[in-house]
Amino acid sequence: MVTRREVAERARTSEAVVSYVINNGPRNVSPETRERVLAAINELGYRANAVARSLRTRHTMTLGLVVPDAGATFFGSLAREIENAAFSAGYTLLLGNAMERAERESAHVRALLDRQVDGLILAPIGRSGPWVDEVARSRTRTVILDRELEDVSATQILIDNEQGAYDATRHLIEHGWRRVGCLAGPEGVHPTIDRVAGWRRALAEAGIDPAGTPPSYGSFRQWDGYEQGKRLLAGSARPDAIFTTSDEQGLGLLRAAFERGLRVPRDLAVVSFDGIAGSAYSIPSLSTVQQPLDELGALAVQRVLAQSADERPDGETIRLTTKLIVRESCGCGREAAPRA
């Protein structure tokens, strides 16, 4: 293994100067000397010992992220934005996939704490678990995303799910539909609770009794939108329009409608939630409530790094707004060709 002494000898300088170049300080190095050191590093293939450096600086330059299901398009896209923001800040992101299982979620959180990540970003699977006390004892900087927790003292960055669902449902009602159904996610988690509340509020304002078409609960995944959609569309009083609480559900619903011989949006109007890239490429393209994923990812990294190592989070909650993207599935006509 190449050592710093060998780099210093090749660059005709001291080990201390080599350290200043590698760590960008604490002392300045002349441009000529810096070039010699960098050239020596490249020629010799020197690699800094990250473990030793972390022991000295008490920073591992890593962040941890745990998501409910990395296979879900939304969380995959969110992880990409967080990784991009972490990389820009000079940090490596370690990902834990909970697979919607509480014991797996806790195991990932524990493993990341054991690796002494400099910050933890967590999109919980639902209600808080035993990891809450472990995170508090570790004093690791922590940010909670996507799913609101009521018994955690940490910065939470959330989406205004209720208003987004209200906007989607009101848009369907403005098209003249009165039987507006809802394909909902899992009961008891805040994205579902809040999106169903927004759906109910829009119906109530329009004088429509939601009891006529109660929400159908399941998961946020595509296959569940398909299965729920088949059941909902098979009834004698099927809805004229449906709000789905995720784009993946919306894509599954389109398949169910096709199999029933229903034309979207002529026979059934649909608006979904999330704004994943694939929603623009379905036939018809999905009208959707778009979450600001780039802002969400950048803000998560910014807030977790802004906390001091000894800071106890004060429970700050930040809510980001959504945007209704109107496409074909709601009945507004063909949009411009989708762009990547």
Q: Using one digit for the tens of pLDDT, what is the confidence trace for 89-130?
A: 989 999 999 999 999 999 999 999 998 899 999 999 877 777
Query: Is the per-residue pLDDT at 215 higher than 90?
Result: yes
Q: What is the pTM of this model?
A: 0.81
Which of these, 118, 93, 66, 87, lies nearest to 308 by C-alpha position? 118
Domain co-membership, 179 together with 285: yes
Same domain, 174 and 281: yes
List C-alpha distances in Å: 235 to 153, 181, 202, 260, 293.
45, 12, 23, 11, 36
Q: Same domain, yes or no, for 256 and 307?
A: no
Q: Looking at the predicted structure, is the pLDDT value of residue 150 above 80?
A: no
- What is the structure's pLDDT at 17? 86
pLDDT at 157 over 80: yes
Residue in the structure block whose two tokens are 């559900």:
249
Say yes or no: 139 and 171 in one domain.
no
Cα angle: 122, vertex 190, 130; to 5 degrees:
45
Are 254 and 316 contained in the same domain?
no
Euclidean distance between CA atoms 77 and 72, whole angstroms: 9
In this structure, the answer to whether residues 177 and 282 fall within a common structural domain is yes
Backbone angles phi, psi at 87, to 5 degrees: -60, -40
Q: Please check whether residue 13 lies inside any domain of the structure.
A: yes
Q: Which of these ranges, 78-82, 96-100, 212-216, has the smallest mean pLDDT?
A: 212-216
CA 87 to CA 62: how far, in whole Å? 10
Q: Are residues 257 and 113 in the same domain?
A: no
Establish if 81 belongs to a structural domain: yes
pLDDT computed for residue 47 by the predictor: 73
pLDDT at 309: 56
pLDDT at 334: 55
pLDDT at 340 (0 to 100): 34
- Number of structural domains (the chain) is 3
94 in a structural domain: yes
**Mean pLDDT, the chain, integer:** 88
The pLDDT of residue 25: 66
Per-residue pLDDT, 337:
36
The residue segments making up the domain with residue 39 are 4-48
For a pLDDT cut of 90, what percent of the chain falls above it? 61
Is 331 domain-assigned?
no
Residues 149 and 176 in one domain: no
Considering 291, 306, 329, which residue would you say is the last residue of a domain? 291
Residue of higher predicted confidence among 323 and 137: 323
Question: Does a structural domain hold residue 208?
Answer: yes
Do 287 and 297 sit in the same domain of this protein? no
What is the length of the chain?
Answer: 340
Contact by Cβ (8 Å): 289, 339: no
Per-residue confidence (pLDDT) for residue 336, from 0 to 100? 37
Q: Which of 254, 188, 251, 243 is nearest to 210 (CA)?
A: 243
Q: Are residues 128 and 179 in the same domain?
A: no
pLDDT digits (tens, 9 = 90+) for 217-265: 999 999 999 999 999 999 778 899 999 999 999 999 999 999 999 999 9
The β-bridge relationship of strands 287-290 and 241-244 is: unpaired
Cβ neighbour number for residue 234 with a 10 Å cutoff: 10
Give mean pLDDT, residues 144-170.
Answer: 91
| C-alpha span between 27 and 102 (Å, rounded) | 48
